[in-house]
Amino acid sequence: MKDILIFRHAAHEDPGSFADFAAQHRLSTRLVRIDEGEPVPESIDDTPALVFMGGPMSVNDPLPWIPRALNLIREAYALNRPILGHCLGGQLISKALGGVVTRNPVKEIGWLPVTRVDGPFTQDWLGDLPDAFNVFHWHGETFTIPDGATRILSSRDCPNQAFVIGNTLAMQCHVEMTADMVRLWARTGAAEIAAARAMPKAQTGHPCPAPLASIPSPTVQDEAAMTQDLDNRVARLTPIAHRLYRRWLQGLDR
C-alpha cells in the first residue's frame, strides 16, 4: 500500500497523536510540508487516504496550493477514499464538498466542551463517548455542513464542530493535541490570545451596560488556563481521538 498523505500547513501544527495512532496501526504515512513549499499532488492516483492538519491561514485566502488541495479532496471523495480533516483541514473538506467557510461570531481557543448531535451516524462514529467532552480549539472561522453530510459534534459558540460523509470525517476542533503541542501553541500564539481575550463586551455574546468596555472572552483561555492539569487533559483527549481515528480507518482498503 502506498503512503497515506498527511498535509501540514504550519510548522507547529504537526500530526500529533494521529502520528502515534498511525504507528500503532502500522500505517505507512508521508508528511507533505505545505509550509515548506512542498507541492500538493496533481492527482490522488493510488494514494489510499488523505489527512489534513490545521493552520493559521483561511481557506478563502488566495494561496496557490488551496485550489489544488480542494481538487484533490474532491477526487478522493469521488473515489470513496478516506479523508480526515482537523480544523483548517475540516474547513478545506467543507469547501471542497460545497460548503462555505466564514468568520465565527467568537474565537474558540483552549479547552472547551463539544456535545454529541443525535443523528443516523452519531453512534457509529462516536460509540460510547459521553454526551459532552472537552477537546482543544484554536479557530476564528467556521464551516457549513455540505449537502449530504451529517453533523455529529457541536459546541455552544460554534454549532458545526464535526461532520461525516461516507469515509470522510471533518472536524473544526483539534483532537490530535499532545501536551507539547499545547504548550508550544500557547507560547507562539500569545499575541493572538491577548488580542482575543480583550474583545469588547458586545462581541462576547454577553449583555452589558457599556458596550465598548472589555472583559476577557469566555471562549478564549490564556496560557495558564490551557496548560492547567495538562497531562490529564491530554490523557482524556487521546482516547477520544483514537476512537474517531479507528472508525475513520474502517474506510481504508487494506
Examine the pLDDT at 209 and tell me if it is beyond 60: no
Amino acid found at 83: I
Residue 93, phi then psi, degrees to nearest 5: -65, -45
Q: What is the mean pLDDT of residues 197-215?
A: 49
User: 4-178+237-249, superfamily in CATH?
Assistant: Class I glutamine amidotransferase (GATase) domain (3.40.50.880)
Distance of CA 240 to the CA centre of its chain: 14
Please, where in the chain does CATH 3.40.50.880 lie? 4-178+237-249
Please determine, for residue 203, whether its predicted confidence score (pLDDT) is greater than 90.
no
Q: How far apart are CA 117 and CA 123, in angstroms?
A: 10
Q: Please report which confidence band the pLDDT of residue 198 belongs to, taking 50, 70 and 90 as the band edges.
A: confident
Cell 461516507 locates to 166
Exposure string for 191-210, b = 16+ CB within 10 A, e = fewer: ebbeebbebebeebeeeeee
* Model confidence band, residue 199 (pLDDT cutoffs 50, 70, 90): low
Per residue in 106-137, pLDDT (tens digit) is 999 999 999 999 999 999 999 999 999 999 99
Tell which wins on pLDDT, 113 or 211: 113
Tell me, what's the pLDDT at 197?
A: 83
In Å, what is the CA distance from 110 to each residue of 9, 18, 20, 31, 183? 20, 19, 22, 26, 11
Residue 212 has pLDDT above 70, yes or no: no
Q: Where are the alpha helices (DSSP H) in the chain?
A: 17-24, 65-78, 88-96, 122-126, 179-188, 190-197, 223-227, 230-249
CB–CB of 73/83 below 8 Å? yes
Q: Decide if pLDDT at 202 tops 60.
A: no
